[in-house]
Structures are given as C-alpha cells and as structure tokens.
Amino acid sequence: MFGEHLKQLREEAKLTQRELAERTGLAATYISDLERNRRPAPNHDTCIKFLQAIPDSDAFTLLYQAALSRTYVRLNKEDLSQEQWDLISTITALVPTMDRYECNRVLTRLHHEFFTEEPEGK
C-alpha cells in the first residue's frame, strides 16, 4: 500500500513526519494518516511534493504505488491478443510477491518495451 511505502522512504531518509510536513507544506497529521492507510493515496501533485522532499526517493515506484491505490482499469479481454492477456495475467500474479526493487525493475523494463519510441534508423 502507498502509506507503507511512503513511511519506508521517509524513514530511510531519516525524516520525521513533522520534518516531511515542513518540507512539503502538508500537515503532519495528513502524513500520519497516509502512512497508516487511513486516507486514500494522494493525487499526482502531492506525490511530486513527497518526491521533492525525500532525497533519493524512488519516484517511479512511489507514483506507481499511488496509481495502484487509486486507479482501477477494466480490461476487455476481447480487445487484447492472447499474448497480451497472458502477459497481464502473469504480471498481476507476480507483482504482490515482489519487493519494491524487483517491481521497479519489471515496470521500468515494461515501460521501455511498450511506451518509448525507438530512435529513427533502428
């Protein structure tokens, strides 16, 4: 969940909730509620504040966690090839078993494979 990931990043940066609140301009109680999963994952702009406030934070994973917590995509199997459906099924089964570094590595690879254009001439 997003809150657990945020807490881990904050603690790795050796920041208190109050220090993170001061750096982001958010209330310490809000950060506490997020970390205890008492509030839904924040929007993109709030995630950016956290990323700017926590040195060396893993931006991709943090935003991905927020997206997972907030966004549900309904896929229509008929619109996908069998290969695409099998890939989605495999990833769905694997993600809960991965630590954040494995998940980041897989997602980065997928991003490069499917969402970046190859330079011309390749």
Q: What is the pLDDT of residues 62-77, one digit of tens each?
A: 656 665 665 444 556 6
Question: What topology is assigned to 2-70 in CATH?
Answer: 434 Repressor (Amino-terminal Domain) (1.10.260)
Q: What is the pLDDT of residues 84-102, one digit of tens each?
A: 777 777 777 776 676 666 7
Residue 69: what pLDDT? Answer: 63
Residues 6 or more apart in contact with residue 58 via CB below 8 angstroms: 9, 100, 104
The CA–CA distances, whole Å, from 62 to 2, 44, 53, 110 equal 7, 10, 13, 17
DSSP H stretches of helix in the chain? 2-12, 17-24, 28-35, 44-53, 59-70, 82-94, 100-115
In the chain, what are the domain boundaries? 2-70, 77-115
Weakly modelled stretches of the chain, pLDDT under 70: 57-77, 79-80, 95-96, 98-101, 103-104, 107-108, 110-122
Six-digit token string for 14: 């050796």
Six-digit token string for 73: 């995509």
